Amino acid sequence: MCAHFTLSAPTERLADEFGIPDPPALQARYNIAPTQLIVAVALKPDGEHRGIVRVPWGMVPAWADDPSAAPRLFNARAESVAYKFGECFRERRCLIPADGFYEWKAVGKKKHAYHFSRTDGSVFAFAGIWDVWADEDVKIVGACMVTTTPNELVKPFHDRMPVILPRESYAEWFDPMTSGKRLLALLKPYPAELMQAKQVGPKVNSSKSEGPECLQAS
């Protein structure tokens, strides 16, 4: 799974990466954690143009009777997303921009944090889905990212990793005509040779830490 990630890229870089004119100004963040607001790229109601929205990281299950007591879903497994979240997978797919994510590795009695990113340091996108839980009085919007088996770089740290979609797959991911079979084929580990890992210090262990110090080497 992925429990913390970063998005520090300038807003204009996101605009170029995702084809979004006049995006809202975004603050650099270095330790995004579950339940916090995240940036998501999704199709606008016209079904053609993309837009940026801020939504909570975590979906309330559609089957929940009481949203205040239901668990928030932060990750969805690629192997089961099509049948566990069928409607979301068919109709409410999104991209979650990032430029890195964290995993921890136990060494003796301590856990050391590592930041995973592209070798070129560029912004990328996690595959995501979103949903709305609603009744007569409440509407709760949330998103979660899709995870898959790890590549060789991430494998020593965790048995899951977020699905990173290459830029050339964005259009297919958004296209309502893309078949379910093809969508599932996109949910694969990102090539390890295009990624790097760097050990960072303990600042990232606290979700209260949000500044660039989270990326300082230990």
CATH code, domain carrying 47 = 3.90.1680.10
Identify whether 212 is part of a domain.
Answer: no
The total domain count for the chain is 1
Taking Cα atoms as reference points, which of 82, 157, 96, 86 lies closest to residue 125? Answer: 96
Identify whether 211 is part of a domain.
Answer: no
| Residue in 2, 88, 94, 214 annotated catalytic | 2
Q: pTM of this prediction?
A: 0.95
d(CA 133, CA 64): 8
* pLDDT of the residue at 110: 86
| Residue in 103, 144, 210, 214 annotated catalytic | 103
Q: Is residue 103 annotated as part of the catalytic site, yes or no? A: yes
pLDDT confidence bin for 69, thresholds 50/70/90 = confident
3-state secondary structure of 15: helix
Identify whether 202 is part of a domain.
Answer: no
* pLDDT of the residue at 55: 95
For 12, the domain range is: 5-101+121-150+158-193
pLDDT over 80 at 172, yes or no: yes
Query: N- to C-terminal Cα distance for the chain?
Result: 23
Identify whether 203 is part of a domain.
Answer: no
* pLDDT of the residue at 23: 84
* pLDDT of the residue at 1: 62
pLDDT confidence bin for 3, thresholds 50/70/90 = confident
Q: Is residue 172 annotated as part of the catalytic site, yes or no? A: no
Identify whether 209 is part of a domain.
Answer: no
Whether the Cβ atoms of residue 59 and residue 75 lie closer than 8 Å to each other: no
DSSP result, 131-197: EEEE-SS-EEEEEEEEEE---TTTTTT-S-EEPEEPGGGHHHHH-TTS-HHHHHHH-SPPPGGGEEE
The secondary structure element, H or E, covering residue 5 is strand 5-7
